[in-house]
Amino acid sequence: MTPPETTATLAFGSIGTVLGTLLAGATETGVAWLGWRDSPGARARAAARAGLPVVDDPDRLAPVLEGLAGYFGGEPRTFTLPVDWRLTSPLQRRVLATLYESVSYGEVVTYGELGARSQAGVTAQAIGQVMGSNPIPVIVPCHRVVASNGLGGYSGGSGIEVKRWLLTLEGSLPATLDWDLHTGPRAEP
């Protein structure tokens, strides 16, 4: 007799950070989604993208939210959470898994170096596109991937200033005199 098939589900939880309220989604396998806003619409879009029914399961999200709280609280952290890669293509999975497993807190790697390290056989520009479509930012640290001549781009949160703030938090960039763990990136006047 074969056991009955179980349908995967998606549970959501959110956490307030200096960068705003982050929305995390996890399946039974692991964290699958991290969004820069929490709203009914954001939850509906994430659930539709995953194609999974939504359940209420705070215990499933507890390790994810605790890890994010520690990270934004200033604890040096390389996340070791289980990841569900279902929202990624094979190329994205290869590149993002390499990033997740090999670029630690406080380190940076260039787009080209990550391409070579992941043996993806694509251009640095294609690696940038993979970073821009990362469904699990911060935890899968696309902010740690920089251009060979500067920071490069960032599509998370409010953009490049979020990347700069995260890299400053991790010590990859020197803090400016007005940098503060408890305040988010400042908008340009």
For 41-65, how does the pLDDT look when each residue is reduced to its tens digit (9 = 90+)? 999 999 999 999 999 999 999 999 9
- Mean pLDDT along residues 135-150: 96
Tell me, yes or no, whether 145 lies in a domain.
Answer: yes
The per-residue pLDDT for 187 is 52
Percentage of the residues of the chain whose pLDDT score is greater than 70: 95
What is the predicted pLDDT for the residue at 1? 57
Of these residues, 142, 145, 146, 169, which one is catalytic? 142
Q: Using pLDDT thresholds of 50, 70 and 90, give the confidence band for residue 168.
A: very high
Place of tokens 């503060």: 180
* 178 part of a folded domain: no
Q: How does pLDDT run across 106-137, given as a tens digit for each residue?
A: 999 999 999 999 998 889 999 999 999 999 99
Pair 112, 67 in one domain: no
Number of compact structural domains in the chain: 2
**Are residues 94 and 139 both part of a single domain?**
yes
Q: What does the pLDDT read at residue 83?
A: 97
142: annotated active-site residue: yes
pLDDT band at 189 (very low <50, low <70, confident <90, very high): very low
Is 77 inside a domain boundary? no
What residue numbers bound the domain in which 124 lies?
Answer: 90-169
- Does some domain include residue 111? yes
Q: Model's pTM, two decimal places?
A: 0.91
